[in-house]
Structure 1
Amino acid sequence: MAAGKKIGVFVGTVYGGAEEVAEAAVEKLVASGHDAQLYPEPQFDDFIRYWEDVVLVVTSTTGEGEIPDNLMPLYLALNEQFPLMPELNYGVIALGDLSYGEERFCGGGRQVDELLQQLQAKPLIPILRVDACVNFDALEVAMPWLDEFVSRLG
């Protein structure tokens, strides 16, 4: 088996649901032979270490479709410093609630996905949007997506 990838898993959470998914993702990535590190309090300096590797962002959405408070400093730093990262591969798992409306649904994850694309990072797989109204247990939807994410790591 080829050497595993270096993967940073960055979490944006309010009530812990996104962190639970992120922890399961780290377990799956490590079990698949990758070097995965969880960042529950994501910082710019941590994120930038992965600019030639892989990041997975797992985030819930808060308020009116916004990024959770613990992820906001990283998002703002990336937006302000705007480091182009064409070598970075990434994935985003966005948790949301469609009952708040399509325009707000998974807004936290969608904003992160859009910013990473502007920074020239490459999605390994399209964003996963999980609707809490349909999928009470986000892991039921996230695990098959993670299987595909892992397969695309090579």
Structure 2
Amino acid sequence: MKKVNLVFGTVYGGAQYVAETLQQALIDLGREAVLYQSDELVGFVPPQDELLLMVCSTTGQGDLPDDIQSWFYDMQSKAPYLPELKFGIIGLGDSSYETFCGAAEQLASLFEELGAKRLGDFLKIDAGETMEPEVEALAWLPSWNALDNELAA
């Protein structure tokens, strides 16, 4: 099974908590899972023989949280070609805003522009409907994990 690299962008800690919860769940599924803190993302280009799982909340008018902005812009400016990279994306937001999950949308678009392939559904978690986003993320994770296992078989 491929190693999973988890990256998060958070304003108040919700996306970080979801990412930490998913890291433990992936380990429980027998995967190696590494959670990157924002200061560890400097120069990080996800290896193409591993998986990338991004969890990102949205701030302002669909903006990226401060803690992930520099990595996003660094990846955008370096523009590494990543045709073998498979990624998953989870967005946290509030559907009462026009820019619902706008930051996660930006991340997904960037990685698709870099040639990476999205693995599974884009999970959008609505703060207006759930107070425990980690519960929805944990319910989504087994199907995402199974998709990679099917591709590896």
Query: TM-score, normalised to structure 2's length?
Result: 0.92
**Contact 1:7–1:50 at 8 Å: present in 2 too?**
no
Instruction: Summarize the Cα distance change of 1:29–1:131 in structure 2 as closer, same or farther, 3 Å threshold.
Output: same
Could you say which residue in structure 1 is the equivalent of 2:26?
A: 29
Paired residues for 1:4-153 under 5 Å: 4-41=1-38, 43-46=41-44, 48-101=45-98, 104-153=99-148
Identity between Structure 1 and Structure 2 (%): 35
Tell me, in whole angstroms, the C-alpha distance in 1 between the residues paired with 2:147 and 2:30: 13
SS in 2 for 1:59: strand
- CA RMSD in angstroms comes to 1.2
SS in 2 for 1:71: helix
* Letter of the structure 2 residue corresponding to residue 106 of structure 1: C
**Contact 1:94–1:109 at 8 Å: present in 2 too?**
yes
Q: Count residues with an aligned counterpart.
A: 148
SS in 2 for 1:51: coil
* Letter of the structure 2 residue corresponding to residue 115 of structure 1: L
Gap regions ≥5 residues in structure 1: none
Segments of 4+ moved more than 3 angstroms: none
**Contact 1:6–1:50 at 8 Å: present in 2 too?**
no
SS in 2 for 1:111: helix
Query: TM-score, normalised to structure 1's length?
Result: 0.91
String of CA shifts for 1:39-62, please: whole Å, max 9, x gaps: 12151533x142331100001001
Tell me, in whole angstroms, the C-alpha distance in 2 between the residues paired with 1:13 and 1:124: 22
Gap regions ≥5 residues in structure 2: none
